[in-house]
Amino acid sequence: MIDLHCHILPGIDDGARDLSESVMMAQKAVEQGIHTIVATPHHLNNRYENSKQTIMDKVRELNKVLIDKKIDLNVLPGQETRIYGEMVEDFEIGEILPINNTQYVLVEFSSTHVPRYTEKLFYDLQTKGLIPVIVHPERNQEIIERPEILYQLVEKGALTQVTAASICGDFGKKIKTFSLQLIEANLTHFIASDAHNTSSRTFKMREAFDVVQAKYGNEMVYLFQENAEIVIEGGHVYKEVPERIKKKKFFKLF
Residue 250: predicted pLDDT: 47
The CA distance from 233 to 235, in Å, is 6
Percent of the chain with pLDDT over 90: 93
Q: Which of the two residues, 28 and 250, has the higher pLDDT score?
A: 28
Per residue in 149-163, pLDDT (tens digit) is: 999 999 999 999 999
When pLDDT is averaged across residues 202-223 and rounded to a whole number, the result is 97
Per residue in 168-178, pLDDT (tens digit) is: 999 999 999 99
Q: How far is CA 9 from the centre of its chain?
A: 15
Burial 201-225 (b: 16+ CB within 10 A, else e): bbbbbebbbebbeeeeeeebbebbb
Residue 45: predicted pLDDT: 66
The CA distance from 184 to 138, in Å, is 13
Residue 216: predicted pLDDT: 96
Residue 154: predicted pLDDT: 98
The CA distance from 104 to 128, in Å, is 11
**Among 131, 105, 129, residue whose Cα is nearest residue 44:** 105
Per residue in 78-90, pLDDT (tens digit) is: 999 999 999 999 9
When pLDDT is averaged across residues 13-31 and rounded to a whole number, the result is 96
Residue 46: predicted pLDDT: 67
What confidence tier does 44 reach under pLDDT thresholds 50, 70, 90? confident
What confidence tier does 247 reach under pLDDT thresholds 50, 70, 90? low
* List of domains in the chain: 2-233 (3.20.20.140)
pLDDT of residue 189 exceeding 90: yes
From residue 141, alpha-carbon distances to 8, 38, 113 in Å are: 26, 26, 6
When pLDDT is averaged across residues 109-119 and rounded to a whole number, the result is 96
Residue 111: predicted pLDDT: 93
